[in-house]
Amino acid sequence: MSDTRPPADDHDLTREVPFTAADVVLEERRCLHDGFFRLEALHLRHRLFEGGWSGRMVREVHHRHDAVGVLLYDVERDAVVLIEQFRAGALDDPASPWKLEVVAGLVERGESAAEVARREAMEEAGCEVGELIELHAYYPSPGACDERVTLFCGLVDSRGLGGVHGLDEEHEDIRVHVLPFLRAWELLQAGRLDNAMCLIAFHWLVGERASMRARR
């Protein structure tokens, strides 16, 4: 009979956190750039899984405000509200630097994630949100960035939505699209919804959509 016992170091990850920030020695924090975002060089050492300490290393960290994303979904019409805008980080994208996304924004001091979701829905899509359902909170790229994202699904009435929105002082030029869910899912499958917020939110919605519509 084969031995099916787990290896000795197979920790219960639901209960145990092996290390915390107390297991890191930050020797120096140096600012490399401080503009719309901040870039720092961290000189540090950390504990190792098998004991002892790492050597001194340097890691660059991109500091951002925490962010909120909200997939706007009209249960009655089985439609989603997406926005389209220019994204500097996608400037070298082989197709286009204009991206289809869910409504999103940065958390300002004193704001809750839910407040940001409602504010950004109005600013970017001219849309009032009813019920907010929190999906996940996650780090998009913890190897290089301290940003933490809270993702919601916001229930809306999509009738009359559309046009171009955004704040002039933030140079926003945001076009609103109201799409049947199945059309949006086709776009995702074709690679047009190619950002983490869209992918995570739509994969959540595809699993919950039937039960949400049954309750209407």
Catalytic: 170? yes
Q: Has 120 been labeled as part of a binding site?
A: yes
Q: What is the pLDDT along the chain (216 residues), one digit of tens a residue?
A: 444 444 445 567 666 778 999 999 999 999 999 998 899 999 999 999 999 999 999 999 999 889 999 999 999 999 999 999 999 999 999 999 999 999 999 999 899 999 999 999 999 999 999 999 999 999 999 999 999 999 999 999 999 999 999 888 888 899 999 999 999 999 999 999 999 999 999 999 999 999 999 987
Find out whether 104 and 132 touch, Cβ atoms under 8 Å. Answer: no
Best CA proximity match to 33, nearest among 67, 65, 62:
62
Q: Is the dihedral of CA 58, 64, 66, 67 positive or negative?
A: negative
Q: Has 172 been labeled as part of a binding site?
A: yes
Which pLDDT does position 1 carry in this prediction? Answer: 43
As annotated, the residues of the chain forming the CATH 3.90.79.10 domain(s) are: 67-215
Tokens of 110: 């004193």
Catalytic residue among 16, 50, 169, 170: 170
CATH class of 67-215: alpha beta
Q: Has 208 been labeled as part of a binding site?
A: no
Find out whether 208 and 71 touch, Cβ atoms under 8 Å. Answer: no
Beta-carbon contacts of 113 under 8 Å, excluding residues fewer than 6 positions away, are 66, 68, 107, 134, 150, 152
| C-alpha–C-alpha distance, residues 172 and 155, integer Å | 24
| C-alpha–C-alpha distance, residues 98 and 80, integer Å | 19
Instruction: For residue 147, count other CB atoms closer than 10 A to its CB.
Output: 19
Residue whose pair of structure tokens reads 């919804």 in the numeric block: 193
Which pLDDT does position 36 carry in this prediction? Answer: 84
